[in-house]
Amino acid sequence: MKNLENKNILIGVTGGIAAYKVVEVASRLKKLGANVKVVMTKSATEFVSPRTFQEITKNAVYVEMFGDAANFNVAHISLADFADLVLVAPATANFLAKSAHGIADDLLTTTILAATAPKIFVPSMNTNMLENPATQDNIKILKQRGIKILEPADGELACGIVGKGRLPEPENICAEIVKFFSTEKILSGKKILVTAGGTLEPIDPVRYIGNRSSGKMGFEIAKAAENFGAEVILIAANTHLELPKNLKFVKVESAVEMREKVLSEFVSVDAVIMSAAVADYRVKNVSSQKIKKSEENLTLELVKNPDILKELGKLKTKQILVGFAAETENLFEYAEKKLAEKNLNFIVANNVSVEGAGFGVDTNIASIISRGGEVENFPLMSKAELAEKIIFKLIEILQGEKS
Ligand code: PMT
């Protein structure tokens, strides 16, 4: 089946030894029906001749910014407009650095700046260059801007050392591209409610009981859902993050307020993903004035907050419900209990006492537990990557592949 028929793919090739493998990527994409154009940096032409890509793609190959006087189109703009997807492989450390900082000093980097199409970069380089904090920071910046970065593979590198930095095999790169086009905007027409952040429970006008949630996990989920075409409502408590574009944002403070806003949207949504850390208790008698320091001890009486997700579990009709379990012990036992008690479709269990997981950080380590008992364990990954896994799981359910 020609899954990529009518798709315009622009491949950027930069100067790495793995450039030769990208000839096969171009060839496979052509066979899948894509119209492929290639832009090479000058360094890339040291590894593969432009003529090779020209023969494979049956299109002109672009290298020079100002080379072709006979061509009246501004090359970087027409190439940027052409692309439904931009793939850069191999993406060298130099290219990643330039792209992360908006430098446009050749045809490829200029085209990248001008292109609004989704982008996939495939880094490939020596392990030390890859692990250098400068490269890692650049990768982080690019990921935060929504560019998909494919993980380099492990193995023997051209420099002789064994480590991470190899270009993934061409078939794996092409599989990502096919997946991208098959899931692109797959959630259009669906409305998804995401909660994020940690509720604040007031004690008096200046004090509150809170928790360590930054909202990062929920914001990434909202962005991923929006990327797949969903209409997203993000209800967030106590977050200070840059607001994602193209979604409805509702700011709340306490659990009671979050419950009210969630319930007011619930009937119209197709799915709810509750990643917010909702306080289980609130202060019974909130003081209207600042509590003055007097006695040696101060006792606050707490009362139970409503369990929003449990309530949704009782009310749900068509809605898919996704919960999180933030645990510090007995992760699976407690998560499975919440999955059943709250009548969820699946739960994302994270042990928040493990380094790199849980509150505040950009990464997480989680497992998705489904109703049927199926468990998917994920290693340490960025919250953006985990968000995508969660959305893929949701898509499976919405498409009726899983219950
Ligand atoms: O925001 P970050 O800094 O990125 O951190 C991410 C996170 C650690 C907050 C996130 O990954 C996470 O685990 N969120 C759920 C936190 C939580 O409250 O877990 P819980 O196990 O106490 O609650 C279980 C589920 O019930 C959650 O989906 C929660 O949103 C929901 N709940 C809990 C209590 C309550 N009163 N009402 C609820 O709806």
102: pLDDT strictly greater than 70: yes
158-162: which pairs have CB atoms within 8 A and are 24 or more residues apart?
158/17, 158/18, 159/126, 161/126, 161/127
* 263-305 pLDDT per residue, tens: 999 999 999 999 999 999 999 999 999 999 988 999 999 999 9
Q: Are strands 366-370 and 363-364 parallel, antiparallel or unpaired?
A: unpaired
| pLDDT band at 357; cut points 50, 70, 90 | very high
Average pLDDT value for residue range 300-316: 98
Lowest-pLDDT choice from 92-96, 337-341, 383-387: 383-387
Kindly state the greatest CA–CA separation across the chain.
86
Return the CATH fold of 8-183.
Answer: Rossmann fold (3.40.50)
Burial of 144 (0-12, 13-18, 19+ CB in 10 A): middle
Q: What is the pLDDT of residue 34?
A: 97
Paired strand residues for 327: 351
Q: Active-site residue 174, yes or no?
A: no
CA distance 312 to 274: 11
CA distance 361 to 375: 24
**Ligand 1 center to residue 275 CA distance, Å?**
5
Q: Name the closest-CA residue to atom 24, ligand 1.
A: 325
Paired strand residues for 75: none
236: pLDDT strictly greater than 90: yes
Distances in whole angstroms, Cα of residue 361 to Cα of each of 70, 132, 163, 305, 365: 52, 20, 26, 27, 11
381: pLDDT strictly greater than 60: yes
Average pLDDT value for residue range 356-385: 94
What is the length of the chain?
A: 403
User: What sign for the dihedral angle of Cα 264, 267, 270, 276?
Assistant: positive
* Ligand 1 atom with least separation from CA of 216: 4
Number of Cα atoms under 13 Å in the Cβ half of residue 112: 31
List pocket residues of ligand 1, CB cut-off 6 Å: 213-217, 255, 274-278, 280, 305, 307-309, 323-326, 338, 350, 352, 358-360
* Ligand 1 atom with least separation from CA of 357: 8
69: pLDDT strictly greater than 50: no
Amino acid at 211: N
Query: Which residue from 274, 307, 367 has its CB within 8 A of the most atoms of ligand 1, so it is best to mutate?
Result: 274
Contact criterion met (CB below 8 Å) for 290 and 208: no
**Ligand 1 center to residue 278 CA distance, Å?**
6
Q: What is the pTM of this model?
A: 0.83
- Collapsing DSSP to helix, strand or coil, 94 comes out as helix
Q: What is the pLDDT of residue 401?
A: 55
Catalytic residue among 60, 159, 291, 302: 159
Q: What residue spans in the chain does CATH classification 3.40.50.10300 cover? A: 191-402
Q: What is the pLDDT of residue 374?
A: 94
* Ligand 1 atom with least separation from CA of 255: 36
Return the CATH fold of 191-402.
Answer: Rossmann fold (3.40.50)
Q: What residue spans in the chain does CATH classification 3.40.50.1950 cover? A: 8-183
Q: What is the pLDDT of residue 50?
A: 97
* Ligand 1 atom with least separation from CA of 217: 4
Query: Which residue from 261, 309, 332 has its CB within 8 A of the most atoms of ligand 1, so it is best to mutate?
Result: 309
| CA-based nearest residue to 219, from 251, 265, 189 | 251
Q: Give the pair of three-digit tokens for residue 347.
A: 């739960």
